[in-house]
């Protein structure tokens, strides 16, 4: 496990935020997110979502959250750049 890319970061962010990843992976993501405004913004918006809401809608993502997630993923695929 070396550098984390945005695409891989998105895959891992949920686990990252739950704190269930190994220390080495967490460290790699930390390093990427520290220099990546997009991943940082994604994490910030995720953390703004109340945990209660996330639990209650585990199978159904709220429209607003889904829109932001879609937009984020789209921005990654439109401009696949490493920072
Ligand atoms: Zn990123």
Instruction: For the chain, state the CA radius of gyration.
Output: 13
**Cα(77) to centroid(ligand 1), Å:** 12
Q: Is 17 inside a domain boundary?
A: yes
Higher pLDDT, 50 or 31: 31
**Cα(36) to centroid(ligand 1), Å:** 5
**Cα(50) to centroid(ligand 1), Å:** 23
**Cα(61) to centroid(ligand 1), Å:** 22
Q: What is the pLDDT of residue 1?
A: 44
Q: Is 1 inside a domain boundary?
A: no
Tell me, letter by letter, the H, E, C secondary structure of 9-54: HHHHHHHHHHCCCCHHHHHHHHHHHHCCHHHHHHHHHHHHCCHHHH
Q: What is the pLDDT of residue 7?
A: 77
| Structure-block tokens of residue 67 | 């829109």
Count of the separate structural domains present in the chain: 1
Q: Is 83 inside a domain boundary?
A: no
Residues of the domain holding 60: 6-78
Q: What is the pLDDT of residue 73?
A: 79
Q: What is the pLDDT of residue 79?
A: 64
**pTM given for the model:** 0.50
pLDDT surpassing 60 at residue 58: no
**Cα(18) to centroid(ligand 1), Å:** 18
d(CA 40, CA 27): 15
d(CA 25, CA 82): 18
Confidence of residue 37 (pLDDT cuts 50, 70, 90): very high
């Amino acid at each position: 496990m070396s550098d984390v890319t945005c695409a891989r970061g998105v895959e891992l962010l949920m686990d990252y935020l739950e704190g269930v990843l190994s220390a080495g992976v967490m460290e790699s993501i930390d390093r990427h997110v520290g220099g990546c405004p997009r991943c940082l913004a994604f994490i910030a918006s995720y953390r703004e979502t109340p945990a209660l809401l996330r639990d209650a809608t585990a199978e159904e993502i709220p429209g607003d959250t889904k829109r932001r997630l879609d937009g984020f993923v789209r921005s990654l695929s439109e401009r696949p750049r490493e920072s």
